[in-house]
Amino acid sequence: MREILGRRLQRLRNRLKTLRPAAVQSGDPASPDPASPDPALLDTALTCASVWQWPVLPGVGRAGGGSDGARCACPDPDCPVPGAHPFDPGLLAATTDPRMVAWWWTRRPSAPVLLATGGSAPCAVSLPAAAAARAVVRLDAQGMRLGPIAATPTRWSLLVAPYSLERLGELLYAKDHVPSALRFHGEGGYLLLPPSPASGGGQVRWEREPADTGSLWLPEVEAVVHALVEASSGASGGGSRLAY
């Protein structure tokens, strides 16, 4: 399946070469440097948009381009997630149009890939990396089926089926306790995808890769949250295994 997906992406890239923006083709000096897009970032963006129908957009990136700068390219000098958030274009611009995706990454080759979560796109539940690693081992031992998992050096994000904010609210209200370390990436949110540079340093990677198929199976958010809460409450002394 990986070979089939690779052929599909190559056909997309070949077709999109004829659709590059006119300003880039003509060498308009007002246009950004028309460098070749990073193949890994472009492949991720095209796979999401064209194969899985996930809406994506480029993150703001770091000042001066690349991934090794410390300062975010947005106007906030104290940005808490440097480079790893939407700015221009904004989150509402996320799209599944491969021509728009190719245009963005032709203009900004090193831009992080952001998934706009919610709606018909996947959502996610994230937690600290060390706690996530323990929880996943426990859930695997219990035979629970998990979907893709995106990991940064500090947090892991478990992708789940789309859910509404109302549904999430009802789920959390029904729980006696939900660890504060859990974060929810639902409707109106976004998630940084591999192989983008992570905001705290390092790179996002797939701890558990998506299957190379046209459609991906995702667990329901109720099952994942219930399992994580159970894993947390099993800590000795009544503590939380999901704590930082």
Contact by Cβ (8 Å): 179, 242: yes
Q: Model confidence over 52-98: pLDDT tens digits?
A: 999 999 999 988 655 555 689 999 989 988 999 999 999 999 999 99
pLDDT at position 24: 41
Cβ neighbors of 47 (< 8 A, separation 6 or more) are 5, 9
CB atoms within 10 A of CB 125: 22
Computed from CA positions of residues 200, 202, 207, 213, in that sequence, does the dihedral angle turn out positive or negative?
Answer: positive
Angle at 183 between CA 61 and CA 77, to 5 degrees: 35
pLDDT at position 11: 58
**182 dihedral zone (left: phi>0; alpha: psi -120 to 50; beta):** beta
The pLDDT-based confidence of 211 (bands split at 50, 70, 90) is: confident
CA distance 50 to 31: 26
CA distance 133 to 94: 30
Report whether pLDDT(236) > 90: no
**24-38, 125-139, 211-225: which range is least confident on average?**
24-38
Report whether pLDDT(23) > 70: no
Rounded to 5 degrees, what are φ and ψ at 80?
Answer: -75, -20
Alpha-carbon Rg for the chain, nearest whole angstrom, is: 19
The pLDDT-based confidence of 178 (bands split at 50, 70, 90) is: confident
Structure tokens at 121: 């796109």
C-alpha of 244 from chain center: 21
Contact by Cβ (8 Å): 228, 127: yes
pLDDT at position 216: 83
CA distance 119 to 189: 10
Prediction pTM value: 0.81
Report whether pLDDT(32) > 50: no
Reduce the DSSP state of residue 121 to 3 states and report it. strand
Q: What number is the average pLDDT over the span 157-171?
A: 95
Q: Model confidence over 183-204: pLDDT tens digits?
A: 999 999 999 999 999 877 789 9
The pLDDT-based confidence of 10 (bands split at 50, 70, 90) is: low
Reduce the DSSP state of residue 43 to 3 states and report it. helix
CA distance 152 to 111: 17
pLDDT at position 31: 40
Which of 133, 155, 135, 144 is closest to 201 using CA atoms?
A: 155
Q: Name the residue with tokens 């949110």.
A: 189
Report whether pLDDT(243) > 80: no
Q: Name the residue with tokens 């701890």.
A: 207
Report whether pLDDT(163) > 80: yes
**155-164, 166-175, 204-213: which range is least confident on average?**
204-213
CA distance 90 to 85: 9
